[in-house]
Amino acid sequence: MEWTIWAGFAAGLLISTVTAPVGVSGAVFLLPVQLSILGVPSPAVTPTNLLFNVVAGPGALWRYRRDGALRGTLARRLVLWTLPGVIAGAAVRVFALPGPDVFRALVAALLLPLGAWLCLRTLRPARRRPDVAEPSGRVLAALAMTVGVVGGIYGIGGGSLLGPILAARGMPMARIAPATLATTFTTSVAGAAAYAALSLASPGPVAPDWWLGLACGAGGLIGSYLGAHLQPRLPENALRLLLGTLAAALGAVYATQALA
């Protein structure tokens, strides 16, 4: 329907504008909109969300690259280990977690702690040293692969989970945001391709809603560029608190629905 295309475009634009400055693509908040308002069935909503990341991601990445923020090894190391995880997560999502009730419970289980973590770290920020280093190679590999699996199941690319964890170590958002968005983009490409292949072997609605995913992504492409452009001008703590509150509220709604 035409109204869903325009609604998806507007949702992608608004959400990405707010979330891009903190290294989150916005898919974590777009997913409930697709499920409850736009009527995308489960599990097709997950690859549709990944398609949104693929289309929307280059907007912020181009801006961050133009500003020189993508230099360094963090992005490459995260991408290397999240890619195999997201493919495994896609297989788990299709063959082990097909039901919408189970999926709503999964959404709540992820959003509630994520929102609480963001709020806690905003209200009681960790003391940051100027020489904060990246996690060790083994720790970063385990973290990235685990987040990749969860991201493949949830359709979020993993950046919205990696960002808060790295920020909790005291790493600055100017360093985290470009790396997590680059990770989200590349893992979403792999995840979308995995779901497209898995749709050939699954009788359920596994393939993405292509038109809606492209419409949301087009809005997200513009919004993510604007968000990355505005990052130096926006109060970081206010954005983190907003994201944390929104995530916790959405998680509470889906927890109620899953228990009903």
Encode pLDDT of 105-132 as tens digits: 877 887 788 788 878 877 876 555 454 5
Tokens of 33: 């909109």
Report the pLDDT averaged over residues 54-71. Answer: 86
For residue 43, is the peptide bond before it cis, meaning its omega torsion is within 30 degrees of 0? yes
pLDDT at residue 131 in the model: 46
Task: Kindly report the backbone phi and psi dihedral angles of residue 51, in degrees, each rounded to the nearest multiple of 5, phi listed first.
Answer: -65, -40
Beta-carbon-side half-sphere exposure of residue 70 (alpha carbons within 13 Å)? 16
The predicted model scores a pTM of: 0.76
The mean predicted confidence, pLDDT, of the chain is 80
Nearest CA among 179, 212, 154 for reference residue 57: 179
Q: What is the pLDDT of residue 231?
A: 81
Domain that holds residue 150: 2-259
pLDDT tens-digit map of 179-210: 889 888 988 888 777 777 777 766 666 677 88
According to the per-residue pLDDT averaged within each range, which of 51-65, 112-126, 131-145, 242-256 is highest? 51-65
Pure H helices in 124-172: 137-154, 159-168
Burial class (CB in 10 A: 0-12, 13-18, 19+), 200: exposed
Looking at the 3D structure of the chain, how many domains does it have? 1
Question: Exposed/middle/buried for 257, CB within 10 Å: 0-12, 13-18, 19+?
Answer: middle
